Amino acid sequence: MKKQQQIKLGLTALSLLVLTACGGGGGDSSSSETPAPINPTSSEQPATPAQTTPAQPATPTETPTTPAQPQPQPQPQPTTPTPSEPSNPVEVKPLLSGAGFNYAADKTKPANTKSFTTISDNLNEVVIDGQKFNVIPNTNNIDITTISTVWLSDNIKSICCGTRTNIKSVKIGDFMAGDQIYAFYNGAVTPESNVPQKGTMRYSGGERDTIRFISMGDEKVRGYFPEGDVELTADFDNKAIKGSAFNEAILLEGAISGAAISGTAVFNENATIRLDDDTEHNALTILQINEGERVAPLNGAFFGEKAEEIAGEAHNGKWGVVFAAEQQK
């Protein structure tokens, strides 16, 4: 009998669900100076005719020319430095980086999904489009480093991965801000010179669920946030990566370029959901994913000093995932 792993999923409208995959498959003047006018020379006066004396020659009377008066030049005024306007965008030293996507939290409105990149100088925050967000859930002043967790949530923010994993260089999660929900990964990307050039390495969450599925469909299924397993193999000889999540419900495949990963995530057409009444249904049907919406662009990177971890995201307008995994030795 073929073993079929079941993954529990939560959905408000559908209550507790199970996601599995049956088999493989799938798949922007200074003003110019004006001379003063010169008075014209007076006309010659006619000579008075001689009566008893000889006529005297006419003496022309000429008004002296008035020399042009130079116009005073305006003195240059000292420039007063204009104080720079305060910059609204937050400036950080981008020690960490990542990416993700956001969409409308209001289930009655179109998701209007958008991509973004992240930077930050610590794992507790991300800067997206110049805005800084704290991504750590409210734990009522409890030191989260002392809590044994994989995922930590306060119903507004969820983050992975906690102390029950060895994933230390990158965080993944989602949070609500304003009318948007943001899903992300952010961490210390491996220096390109430290990425292995040969051999293969396997990455996974171990026995932990370190991938989150996000539905961006209509109000019946939007906000469907189950966690699951993820398994990946990096082939450094051929610069390729391949794997799956949710027991092959989602297939992951891409290329390695430096420390970056790019490729596709494909929703397995045979993936099923089991409802509370113990009946199984095709996941694509329940999640309202059409045939043309099964594929989503995949982006990610290696994290840690020597590519000990991997994280990424994939999304289209209907569904998405954020994931992290650690090297298995």
What is d(CA 195, CA 306) in angstroms, rounded to the nearest whole number?
A: 6
List beta partners, residue 159.
152, 173
Q: Which of 174, 231, 246 is nearest to 18 (CA)?
A: 246
Predicted confidence at residue 155, as pLDDT, reads 87
Residues 6+ apart with CB under 8 A from 149: 162, 163, 164
Instruction: Give the range of the structural domain holding residue 210, as residue numbers without chain letter.
Output: 7-24+94-328
List beta partners, residue 184.
100, 173
What is d(CA 282, CA 73) in angstroms, rounded to the nearest whole number?
A: 85
Within a domain: 121: yes
Full-model pTM: 0.74
User: Can you give the CATH number for the domain in which 242 is found?
Assistant: 2.40.160.90
Within a domain: 50: no
Instruction: Please give the torsion angle defined by the CA atoms of residues 218, 222, 226 and 232, in that order, rounded to the nearest 10 degrees.
Output: 70
Within a domain: 49: no
Within a domain: 200: yes
How confident is the prediction along the chain (329 residues), in pLDDT tens digits per residue? 433 444 444 433 333 344 556 544 444 433 334 334 434 433 344 444 444 444 444 444 444 444 555 555 555 454 444 444 444 555 656 699 999 999 999 999 999 999 999 999 999 999 999 999 999 998 776 665 556 688 989 989 999 988 888 899 999 999 999 999 999 999 999 999 999 999 999 999 888 899 999 999 888 888 888 899 999 999 999 999 999 999 899 999 999 999 999 999 999 999 988 777 888 889 999 898 999 999 999 999 999 999 999 999 999 999 999 999 999 98
Contact present, 132 and 224 (Cβ < 8 Å): no
List beta partners, residue 168.
none
- Counting the structural domains of the chain, the total is 1
Q: What is the DSSP string of 149-211?
A: -SEEE-SSEEEE--TTSS--SEEEEEEEETTEEEEEEEE-BPPGGGS--SSEEEEE-TTS--E
Within a domain: 193: yes
What is d(CA 317, CA 285) in angstroms, rounded to the nearest whole number?
A: 16
3-state secondary structure of 47: coil
Residues 6+ apart with CB under 8 A from 311: 98, 167, 170, 172, 185, 187, 300, 301, 303, 322, 323, 324, 325
Sheet of 170-177: strand order equals: 131-134, 125-128, 114-120, 96-104, 180-187, 170-177, 157-160, 151-153
Burial 5-29 (b: 16+ CB within 10 A, else e): eebebebeebeebbbbbbeeebeee
What is d(CA 54, CA 145) in angstroms, rounded to the nearest whole number?
A: 128
Within a domain: 242: yes
Within a domain: 299: yes
3-state secondary structure of 311: strand
Within a domain: 280: yes
What is d(CA 59, CA 190) in angstroms, rounded to the nearest whole number?
A: 103
What is d(CA 190, CA 308) in angstroms, rounded to the nearest whole number?
A: 9
What is d(CA 236, CA 254) in angstroms, rounded to the nearest whole number?
A: 12
